[in-house]
């Protein structure tokens, strides 16, 4: 029988997440540089920009928002000069 600390993976820091139901901590190793495991959010989410795989149209893209702000500024300027 081997000791539990025979391999480096057994000495890895553990995930800091806890179960909602039981309150017991997760026993998975934490991802390097994170305090949680891969199943509890390490390296999760969408990166910067429009890298989401379900992105269908540019209605809420950064470029569309910038164009909307420019249009709103032009409309404000137009209303002020019209009076």
Residue 12 burial (CB count, 10 A): 13
Domain span at residue 14 reads 7-42
d(CA 57, CA 55) in angstroms, rounded, equals 6
pLDDT at site 77: 93
pLDDT at site 3: 58
Specify the number of domains making up the chain. Answer: 1
In this structure, are residues 31 and 42 in contact, taking their beta carbons and an 8 Å threshold? yes
- The per-residue b/e assignment along 18-48, b for 16 or more CB within 10 angstroms, e otherwise, is eeeeeeeebeeebbeebebbeebebeeeeee
In a domain, 82, yes or no: no
In a domain, 22, yes or no: yes
pLDDT at site 69: 95
Mean pLDDT by 10 residues, the chain (83 residues): 67 89 90 89 68 69 89 94 77
pLDDT at site 54: 64
In a domain, 24, yes or no: yes
pLDDT at site 1: 47
């Amino acid at each position: 029988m081997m000791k539990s600390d025979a391999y480096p993976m057994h000495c890895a820091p553990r995930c800091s997440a806890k179960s909602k139901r039981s309150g017991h901590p997760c026993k998975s190793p934490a991802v390097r540089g994170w305090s949680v495991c891969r199943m509890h959010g390490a390296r999760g989410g969408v990166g910067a920009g429009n890298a989401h795989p379900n992105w269908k149209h540019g209605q809420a893209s950064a470029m569309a928002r910038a164009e909307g702000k420019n249009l709103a500024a032009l409309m404000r300027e137009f209303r002020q000069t019209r009076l």
